[in-house]
Amino acid sequence: MNKDQVIEIMSNRGFTVQSYSMKDTHTVEAVYFITEPVFQNGSNAPAIGCNVFLEAGEFEFMYAVPFSINILRSPKCSPIVNDEHFNKIYSKFKEQACVLHNYFGRD
């Protein structure tokens, strides 16, 4: 997959491009995306990051636990183009990130 295809897919899923990991000066190796935190209508979903590795079509989620040195990270999963698979993993990861955020966060 190329960078533009991945950006379009992830934008449709509500993620925003945060940064790029470069293999060399002209080749993007991975794209890092982030969600916006949602703290309204009873929802308390923190910002969650997602690395997408272009060559392999893999993705992984990350959440930095507030006020700690810990990071919750999923294993690399694939394929990025399978919406059902992505959404299942994302929803389970988001649940766990919310638990950690509610326990450690100081909103």
The reported pLDDT for the residue numbered 75 is 95
The reported pLDDT for the residue numbered 106 is 62
Please name which of 1, 77, 62 lies closest in space to residue 32, comparing C-alpha atoms.
62
* 12 CB burial (10 A radius; 0-12, 13-18, 19+): exposed
Q: What is the pTM of this model?
A: 0.87
Percent of the chain with pLDDT over 70: 93
The reported pLDDT for the residue numbered 86 is 95
